[in-house]
């Protein structure tokens, strides 16, 4: 469906050259949800923008259904873009147009008449569950509603591909979930191919079939999501997974924080010292009791890395001494 | 008094109205061109952008009254004379056009880059983006800009009065200043103040009424 060959992007402003993408090779299958994850500045945004040429690649080729996108002339490029929907982190709706007019925009570009446009918009709004917002302006909508309108607009011309540029990054966890559900539904019902970029492993885990990890302009790992969680090949992948797991445990603990009597601390073992019995030594050494609430240790690149969430009970003075002891033993301590 | 002020008021309104229209006709497309030919914009033309910027800066550097005098020959060609209200419209419009171009430019530049990017992603051409996105999205700001333009032109017409343009400025100078009829000058100035206040008020109201952001 989408095939990227030896893609490179170099920014050159005369004084500095930045290699944003280095020799990217990627194949995305029809009907799959393909995620590209990386930290900010890794090049993921540049990569997704090359697919519809919002960014011009410096080198390499991109094929969609066998047609070389990189050689398209302006007019053909516009035609191609009408077949690729795109949504953005900040929604990018027209602020002076109603929901109706926003969704009508791509349909007007295609030259549909008024009745056809009206009919299509009704179907789309019904699909994203916002029929009652047809005459609202974007400023009157919540973030999740704005992204639903943006999705309806992106789907207006029945595209074959949907690109999501951090489409859920500005949304809260609950809204993120509902938008991801919508994307999953779209894929099943329309057989759309979805390419999304994100910095949240949660998004990858929720909806993606396969994932590419991008770091410093290069793809360092391509894997199915299942395999990635079972057996990540790279340290960066591991770190994303650990971050996700600790986010989840913290989500479980934080709302119940007031139910604990002691001090809740999060111990991070990032230096590979999770094997040493620091916690047990701490209990022996100081007059504190430790109640284990959650934890996760992963073996990566022959080191044990992870985190542990404890409730420490005892004298304030003893607790702070115990925390200092942990810190002196290379454990990162965060009081929650 | 009234038979001095009323015809002068009509002359001023006549000059302001026509000059606003013509300076917009000249300046609006220039403002659009300034924005879209810029580096990284939807119709990048570096050379054209440099020339436009240069010409607009040069025209804006001229003291208005000198530009008017320089443009009188053009008035003779277009309207057949160099004295009178209609004759003044030619230099007024041309002198105000570069100002209008800058005002339009700054309004259009307020449109969020992301909105233009999403329009491009939907397959819009440069022309479609200008007329269906840039202008409608910046309309509240454009209205304020046009309000500023009208008020600026009112100021210009007062100066144009000094070199035979007629209008309230002309009355204020001829009767008020040269003939020491202070009352005429005061009334003429008050009428100008009322017009300026009124236009600014309407502009502000209109702009915030249509703004949906």
Distance (Å, rounded) from C-alpha B6 to C-alpha A44? 67
Give chain B positions within 8 Å (CB) of A137.
212
Q: With CB atoms and an 8 Å threshold, state whether B115 touches A137.
A: no
Q: With CB atoms and an 8 Å threshold, state whether B117 touches A96.
A: no
B39 lies in which domain range? 2-210
Domain assignment of residue A295, yes or no:
yes
Instruction: Encode pLDDT of B137-185 as tens digits.
Output: 999 999 999 999 999 999 888 888 777 788 998 888 888 888 889 899 8
Indicate which of B119, B122, B133 best probes the interface with A, i.e. most A CBs within 10 Å of its own CB.
B122
Domain assignment of residue A288, yes or no:
yes
In the numeric block, the tokens 């004379």 are attached to B81
Q: Is residue B44 within 8 angstroms of chain A, CB to CB?
A: no
Pick the closest to residue B167 from B2, B19, B1, B9 (CA basis): B9
Going residue by residue through chain B (213 aa), what tens digit of pLDDT does each one get?
Answer: 888 899 999 999 999 999 999 999 999 999 999 999 999 999 999 999 999 999 999 999 988 888 888 888 888 988 888 888 888 899 899 989 999 999 999 999 999 999 999 999 999 999 999 999 999 999 999 999 999 999 999 988 888 877 778 899 888 888 888 888 989 989 999 999 999 999 999 999 999 999 998
Instruction: Encode pLDDT of A311-324 as tens digits.
Output: 888 888 888 888 88
What local confidence, expressed as pLDDT, does residue B84 receive?
83
What local confidence, expressed as pLDDT, does residue A50 receive?
97
For chain B, what percent of residues have pLDDT higher than 90? 69
Domain assignment of residue A170, yes or no:
no
Distance (Å, rounded) from C-alpha B98 to C-alpha B32? 12
Give chain B positions within 8 Å (CB) of A45.
none
A262 lies in which domain range? 243-335
Task: Answer whether A86's CB lies under 8 Å from B118's CB.
Answer: yes
Contact residues of A toward B, CB < 8 A: 52, 54, 78-82, 84, 86, 88, 90, 92-97, 105-106, 108-109, 137-139, 150, 153, 163
Q: What is the CATH number of the domain that holds A254?
A: 3.30.70.260
Give the number of residues written for chain B: 213
Q: What is the CATH number of the domain that holds B189?
A: 1.10.3720.10
Task: Answer whether A211's CB lies under 8 Å from A35's CB.
Answer: yes
Distance (Å, rounded) from C-alpha B149 to C-alpha B69? 21
pLDDT beneath 70: ranges in chain A = 252-257, 270-275, 297-305
Domain count, chain A: 1
What local confidence, expressed as pLDDT, does residue B131 receive?
97
Domain assignment of residue A23, yes or no:
no
Task: Answer whether A333's CB lies under 8 Å from A266's CB.
Answer: yes
The 3-class secondary structure across chain B, one letter per residue, is CHHHHHHHHHHHHHHHHHHHHHHHHHHHHHHHHHHHCCCCCCCCCHHHHHHHHHHHHHHHHCCHHHHHHHHHHHHHHHHCCCCCHHHHHHHHHHHHHHHHHHHHHHHHCCCCHHHHHHHHHCCCCHHHHHHHHHHHHCHHHHHHHHHHHHHHHHHHHHHHHHCCCCCHHHHHHHHHHHCCCHHHHHHHHHHHHHHHHHHHHHHHHHHHHHCCC
Domain count, chain B: 1
- Count of pairs with CB atoms under 8 A, one residue in A, one in B: 66
- Is residue A303 within a helix (H) or strand (E), and if so which, with residue range? strand A303-314
Domain assignment of residue A85, yes or no:
no
Q: With CB atoms and an 8 Å threshold, state whether B122 touches A94.
A: no
Domain assignment of residue A330, yes or no:
yes
């Amino acid at each position: 469906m989408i095939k990227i060959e030896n893609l490179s992007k170099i920014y050159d402003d005369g004084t500095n050259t930045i290699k944003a993408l280095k020799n990217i090779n990627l194949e995305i299958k029809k009907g799959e949800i393909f995620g590209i994850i990386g930290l900010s500045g890794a090049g993921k945004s540049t990569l997704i923008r090359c697919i519809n040429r919002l960014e011009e690649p410096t080198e390499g080729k991109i094929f969609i259904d066998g047609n070389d996108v990189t050689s398209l002339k302006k007019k053909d490029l516009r035609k191609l873009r009408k077949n690729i929907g795109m949504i953005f982190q900040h929604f990018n709706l027209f602020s002076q147009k109603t929901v109706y007019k926003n969704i009508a925009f791509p349909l007007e570009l295609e030259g549909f008449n008024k009745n056809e446009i009206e009919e299509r918009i009704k179907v789309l709004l019904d699909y994203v569950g916002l029929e009652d917002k047809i005459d609202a302006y974007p400023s009157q909508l919540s973030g999740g509603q704005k992204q639903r309108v943006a999705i309806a607009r992106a789907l207006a011309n029945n595209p074959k591909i949907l690109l999501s540029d951090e489409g859920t990054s500005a949304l809260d966890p609950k809204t993120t979930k509902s938008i991801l559900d919508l994307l999953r539904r779209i894929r099943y019902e329309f057989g759309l191919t979805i390419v999304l970029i994100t910095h949240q492993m949660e998004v990858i885990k929720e909806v993606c079939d396969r994932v590419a990890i991008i770091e410093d302009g290069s793809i360092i790992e391509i894997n199915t999501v299942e395999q990635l969680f079972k057996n990540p090949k790279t340290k960066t992948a591991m770190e994303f997974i650990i971050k996700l797991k600790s986010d989840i445990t913290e989500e479980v603990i934080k709302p119940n924080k007031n139910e604990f009597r002691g001090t809740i601390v999060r111990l991070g073992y990032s230096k590979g010292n999770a094997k040493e019995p620091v916690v047990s030594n701490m209990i022996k050494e100081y007059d504190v009791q430790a109640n284990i609430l959650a934890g996760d240790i992963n073996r990566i690149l022959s080191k044990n890395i992870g985190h542990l969430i404890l409730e420490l009970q005892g004298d304030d003075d003893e607790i702070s001494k115990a925390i200092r002891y942990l810190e002196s033993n290379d454990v990162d301590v965060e009081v929650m | 008094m009234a038979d001095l002020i009323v015809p002068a008021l009509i002359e001023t309104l006549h000059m302001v109205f026509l000059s606003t229209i013509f300076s917009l006709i000249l300046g609006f497309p220039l403002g659009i061109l300034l924005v879209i030919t810029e580096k990284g914009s939807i119709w990048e033309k570096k050379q054209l952008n440099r020339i436009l910027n240069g010409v607009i800066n040069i025209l804006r550097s001229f003291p208005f009254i000198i530009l008017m005098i320089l443009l009188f020959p053009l008035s003779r060609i277009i309207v057949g004379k160099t004295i009178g209200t209609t004759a003044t419209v030619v230099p007024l419009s041309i002198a105000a056009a570069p100002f209008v171009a800058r005002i339009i430019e700054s309004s259009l530049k307020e449109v969020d880059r992301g909105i233009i990017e999403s329009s491009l992603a939907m397959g819009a051409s440069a022309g479609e983006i200008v007329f269906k996105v840039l202008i409608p999205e910046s309309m509240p700001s454009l209205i304020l800009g046009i309000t500023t333009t009208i008020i600026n032109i009112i100021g210009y017409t007062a100066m144009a009065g000094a070199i035979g343009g007629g209008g309230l400025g002309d009355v204020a100078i001829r009767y008020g200043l040269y003939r020491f009829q202070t009352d005429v000058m005061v009334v003429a100035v008050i009428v100008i103040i009322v017009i300026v206040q009124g236009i600014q008020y309407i502009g502000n109201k209109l702009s915030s009424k249509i703004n949906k952001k």
